[in-house]
Amino acid sequence: MDDKAKKTALQHITYGLYVIGSKGRNDANGMTANWLTQISFEPPMVALAVEETAHTRTLIDESKVFSVNVLPAGTPEDLLVAFTKPQKRVGNKFENTK
Distance, in Å, from the CA atom of 31 to the CA atom of 19, rounded to the nearest integer, reads: 5
Q: How high does pLDDT run on average in the chain?
A: 80
More confident residue, 89 or 85: 85
60 confidence band (pLDDT: 50, 70, 90): very high
69: which strand partners? 19
65, 71 Cβ separation under 8 angstroms: no
Average pLDDT over residues 69-83: 85
Distance, in Å, from the CA atom of 1 to the CA atom of 95, rounded to the nearest integer, reads: 48
Average pLDDT over residues 7-12: 60
29: which strand partners? 22
Average pLDDT over residues 90-95: 66
For residue 68, how many other CB atoms are within 10 A of its CB?
A: 12
pTM value? Answer: 0.70
Domains and CATH numbers, the chain: 15-90 (2.30.110.10)
